[in-house]
Amino acid sequence: MEPESNSVAAPRSQRTRARARAWVTALVGIGLAWSPMWLPPILRTAGADPRPLLAAIGLAGPAASIFWNLLATALVLAWVFGVERSRLTSIRIVRPTGKDLEWALILFGGAMTWSWLAQLIRPQAAPDSGSATIAALPVLTVVAMILSAAICEEILFRGYPLERLTQLTGRRWVAVATTLPFFVVPHLFTFGIEWLLSHASGTVAIYALYLWRRNLVACMVLHAAVNAPILIPTVAAHLR
């Protein structure tokens, strides 16, 4: 009986090791995806503050997010291709269908309608400090921020972590509940608690689109559209 017992235990042990490797691989990948949150403070603590260098190339303040998002995205894609031996389809980067883009447009309209209603319910006398800081930046810099956020953040906060955690847990709601706070909290620090009422509808729309259509490119389009209104005060500020 002992050889038979060993033959049963061996595959079980192999499955356990394979599952552990999958968890470690995914968690390291998620750590790379969220490096814009932890890498800058670590570098500053280590005495290698990157802010002066970034400011020298026009990426001071919130514009620095362009660099950190691109760096994190490059690291994640290198991890997907080089370590996981996976493809872009594994993080739902696939060609959008007409229906995907149609839903992106519908949800964009819903998010903007909610933002308009929120302004009627609780009007803001002045823009929050985060929006005011961004609107004061050069127009091309703001355009670059919108595009980098739309492309990179969808990979870093939706495509990679949601797909990997869903694969590991078998429950998409667990993946959403785990990742959502890491996307929302930085926005609260930047734009204040009012962001929840006025603009969190955009985040809800993006998550809804992803869960409904599971097409990251369509989510990128929606993300860019949701962020695009910041160009209105930006352009207005430069016309004065």
pLDDT digits (tens, 9 = 90+) for 157-214: 999 999 999 999 999 999 999 999 999 999 999 888 888 888 899 999 999 999 999 9
Q: Select from 141, 109, 128, 142 the least CA-distant residue to 195.
A: 128
pLDDT digits (tens, 9 = 90+) for 216-229: 999 999 999 999 99
Q: Which 8-state DSSP code applies to residue 90?
A: G
Residue 9 Cα distances to 12, 15, 21, 22, 141, angstroms? 5, 10, 18, 20, 58
Structural domain range at position 118: 2-239
pLDDT above 90 (res 150): yes
pTM of the model: 0.91
Query: What mean pLDDT do residues 127-131 have?
Result: 80
Count of domains for the chain: 1
Under 8 Å CB-to-CB from 34, ≥6 apart: which residues? 72, 156, 182
Tell me the CA distances in angstroms from 219 to 38, 88, 92, 95, 123, one per residue in order: 25, 15, 10, 12, 28
Model pLDDT for residues 66-120, shown as the tens digit of each residue: 999 999 999 999 999 999 999 999 999 999 999 999 999 999 999 999 999 988 8
